[in-house]
């Protein structure tokens, strides 16, 4: 097999270990590096890779993005070593730089109220916001959500393929249930998805949701994103006294990094509610 074909074989062999989007990102990183150096991955050296990473930084790539590319290279090259394609790993000894973690941003209750007031009377948009805020799901999980995954009696939704292909159950409150029920009953299509595009021909796409939230940010005067509602979900549960471990289960955390980051958010939210009492 030609060495270049291993970039494609990597995708096949890792499809049960990593999310499809992650594998694609890793493949794209290897190809981007090859194109930049005009060399095949099997003859690229440690020095070549270091210089390429420096070039990315000079071209305005953020440190977090560069680190993700470095992780992708490490994963791919380790795979090549295991497969016997290479005998030397040029990226093995390149450390992943530590970056200062910023506190996850979340909305105050007043900002949530302003967001809900902005979409008053727009059932489709209000329901999207209600589900994101009530369940804490990722935007990628929202668009794949199906009607059959909803358990109305338990007010729960099965997230059958979350990040890392892990399943979990999320809950929603009565307010969310009312909007979700009304929205689904207003539809005449036979599509299985909870949220569909406005033409009624397919599931809703990420680009549509992000465009809606850009519009909200512009009108409200403060930044709001779908992922920020996930942070807000966690922070507001913390303020109500829910244990951190329970919040993490609802969020579907799969890495130590996520756990540590949300532990900071949890402690900050708990501190703010304490400060309001003092």
- pLDDT classification of 167: cutoffs 50, 70, 90: confident
Least confident of 59-68, 106-115, 266-275: 266-275
Same domain, yes or no, for 68 and 151?
no
Give how many domains the chain has, as a whole number: 2
Q: Of the ranges 91-100, 104-113, 146-155, which is most confident?
A: 146-155
133-144 confidence digits (pLDDT tens)? 999 999 989 999
Same domain, yes or no, for 20 and 138?
no
Is the pTM for the entire model greater than 0.85? no
Residue 197's φ and ψ, nearest 5 degrees, are -70, 165
58-86 confidence digits (pLDDT tens)? 888 888 889 899 999 999 999 999 988 88
Same domain, yes or no, for 129 and 239?
yes
- pLDDT classification of 259: cutoffs 50, 70, 90: low
Res 117: pLDDT: 96
Cα–Cα distance, 92 to 168 (Å, whole number): 35
Domain that holds residue 192: 109-277
Q: Look-up: residue for tokens 């935007």?
A: 139
CA 109 to chain CA centroid, nearest Å: 23
174-193 confidence digits (pLDDT tens)? 999 999 999 999 999 999 99
Res 58: pLDDT: 84
Cα–Cα distance, 130 to 123 (Å, whole number): 10
Cα–Cα distance, 139 to 142 (Å, whole number): 5
Same domain, yes or no, for 184 and 235?
yes
Same domain, yes or no, for 67 and 132?
no
Instruction: Tell which wins on pLDDT, 161 or 122.
Output: 122
Closest of 214, 239, 234, 236 to residue 224, by C-alpha: 214
Which residues are CB-contacts of 28 (< 8 A; sequence separation ≥ 6)? none
Same domain, yes or no, for 187 and 260?
yes
223-251 confidence digits (pLDDT tens)? 999 999 998 988 888 777 777 777 777 88
Predicted confidence (pLDDT) at residue 277 exceeds the cutoff of 50: no
Instruction: Tell which wins on pLDDT, 14 or 48.
Output: 48
Same domain, yes or no, for 77 and 114?
no
CATH code of the domain in which 66 resides: 1.10.150
Residues 90-94 have a mean pLDDT of 91
Segment 158-161 long-range contacts (CB within 8 Å, at least 24 positions apart): 159/252
CATH code of the domain in which 157 resides: 1.10.443.10
Mean of the per-residue pLDDT values of the chain: 86
Res 266: pLDDT: 66
Virtual torsion, Cα 188, 214, 105, 266, nearest 10 deg: 0
Same domain, yes or no, for 63 and 162?
no
Res 235: pLDDT: 84
Res 161: pLDDT: 65
Cα angle 150, 155, 158; round to 5? 40
Q: Look-up: residue for tokens 């291993």?
A: 6
Same domain, yes or no, for 239 and 129?
yes
Structural domain includes residue 159: yes
- Sheet (strand 156-159) strand order: 150-151, 156-159, 168-171
Predicted confidence (pLDDT) at residue 157 exceeds the cutoff of 50: yes
Same domain, yes or no, for 218 and 270?
yes
Residue 156's φ and ψ, nearest 5 degrees, are -140, 160
Q: Where are the beta strands (DSSP E) in 72-222?
A: 150-151, 156-159, 168-171
Residue 138: both structure tokens together: 């990722």
Residue 38: both structure tokens together: 């005009």
């Amino acid at each position: 097999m030609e060495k270049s074909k291993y970039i494609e074989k990597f995708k096949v062999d890792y499809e049960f270990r990593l999310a499809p989007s992650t594998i694609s990102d890793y493949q794209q990183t290897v190809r981007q590096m090859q194109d930049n150096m005009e060399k095949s991955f099997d003859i690229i050296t440690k020095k070549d890779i270091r210089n390429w990473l420096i070039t990315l930084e000079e071209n305005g790539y953020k440190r977090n993005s560069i680190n993700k590319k470095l992780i992708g290279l490490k994963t791919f090259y380790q795979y090549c070593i295991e497969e016997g394609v290479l005998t030397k790993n040029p990226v093995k000894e390149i450390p992943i730089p530590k970056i200062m973690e910023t506190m996850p941003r979340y909305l105050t209750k007043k900002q949530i109220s302003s967001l809900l007031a902005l979409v008053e009377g727009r059932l489709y948009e209000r329901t999207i916001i209600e589900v994101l805020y009530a369940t804490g799901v990722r935007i990628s999980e929202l668009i794949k959500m199906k009607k059959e995954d909803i358990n109305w009696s338990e007010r729960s939704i099965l997230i059958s393929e979350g990040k890392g292909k892990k399943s979990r159950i999320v809950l929603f409150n009565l307010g969310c249930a009312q909007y979700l029920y009304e929205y689904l009953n207003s539809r005449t299509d036979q599509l299985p998805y909870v949220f569909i595009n406005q033409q009624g021909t397919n599931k809703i796409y990420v680009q549509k949701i992000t465009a809606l939230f850009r519009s909200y940010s512009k009108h409200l005067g403060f930044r709001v994103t779908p992922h920020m509602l996930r942070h807000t979900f966690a922070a507001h549960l913390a303020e109500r006294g829910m244990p951190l471990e329970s919040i993490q289960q609802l969020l579907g955390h799969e890495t130590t990094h996520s756990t540590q980051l949300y532990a900071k958010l949890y402690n900050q939210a708990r501190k703010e509610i304490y400060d309001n009492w003092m």
